Amino acid sequence: MVTLVRTTQELNDIRSKETRPVGFVPTMGNLHQGHISLLERALTEYEVVYFSIFVNPKQFGPNEDFNRYPRTLEQDINLIEELTKRFPKKEVVVYSPKDPQEVFPESKNQNVSVLGLSTMLEGKIRPGHFDGVATVVYRLFELMKPTSAYFGLKDFQQYLVIRQMVKDLQMPIKIVGMPIIREAEGLALSSRNQYLSPEQKSTSLLISRTLKEITKTINNKRANLSQAQTFISTLLKDPNWNYLEMRDAETLSEDISHSKQITILAVYQMGTTRLLDNTQVEIE
């Protein structure tokens, strides 16, 4: 059963009556199989799952795509209903606030900032972005009171920021990181992929291919990291890479000389669209 609520008052009414543990999936909507994979996992673990669809103004910069970000509530509900047919005994509560004021009645008064992790890489290019993310997720956690919350590793830095926030504030919430869902040819699914022209879409395959090539060069061996770094340096002659970097997968530190797991984080600029991808590599 899927219940749609459009106000925080309605949400609070439903949540206050719930006695079972709750799983939670936060999204900005325009759902695709990446989002659905998070919901599916949550439904396998919980009788009731709260699912938010909220395009959060706090995480967009002044010249970003907040206004044109795709909002497709009806289509999103259909996808959720389709999936829940496979879980006939489970319940999904979709919270899609009709106005940002439902989430932030006093918008300017709160800010949650996870220092360090939030100002590097994606946070350096998008100042304030991760404060916006942490602030909304904190607020949504407060409303949903989940036992577990599900995040895609597609947004790897976001996942680390949320994990750190929960740890630092001792919030009793398990953060579950879920694998990246890709198109058959490799492009990571994203609501922003629909901004791409057919030509851009075929060019965009180079992102996942590049990550695979670097992974192959490393071949899980520390001794190969310098060769991988040289390879990356040649790739960076293409100015469309906003960044393409190997970092420690726990801390995002640039020093990977002792890392057991590294992450290769990539953002490729395709016209006005920025495409994010990453992969994890174990180091022996």
Q: At what angle do helices 129-144 and 8-17 cross, to 10 degrees?
A: 50
Residue 91: φ, ψ to 5°: -120, 140
Give the Cα separation of 8 and 28 in Å (integer): 17
Q: Is 157 in the site for ligand AMP (CB under 6 A)?
A: no
| Rounded CA separation 264/272 (Å) | 23
Of 39, 188, 225, 266, the residue at the interface with ligand AMP (CB under 6 A) is 188
Taking the least distance from each CB to ligand AMP, the nearer of 192 and 222 is 192
**Which residues share a beta bridge with 243?**
267
> Which of the residues 160 through 179 are near ligand AMP (CB under 6 A)?
178
**Which of 102, 131, 155, 245 is close enough to bind ligand AMP by CB under 6 A?**
155
Rounded distance between C-alpha atoms, residue 34 and residue 38, angstroms: 7
Minimum CB–partner distance for residue 259 and ligand AMP (Å): 23
Q: Distance between CA 15 and CA 145 in Å, rounded?
A: 8
274 forms part of the interface with ligand AMP (CB under 6 A): no
Assess whether 35 carries a catalytic annotation.
yes
Q: Please, which residue, 200 or 229, has the CB nearer to ligand AMP?
A: 200
Residue 166: closest CA among 72, 267, 158, 153: 158
Q: Tell me if 152 contacts ligand AMP by CB under 6 A.
A: yes
Residues known to be catalytic: 35
Binding-site annotation: residue ranges for ATP: 28-35, 152-155, 181, 189-192
Annotated binding site: which residue ranges? Answer: 28-35, 59, 152-155, 158, 181, 189-192
Q: Residues forming the annotated binding site for (R)-pantoate?
A: 59, 158
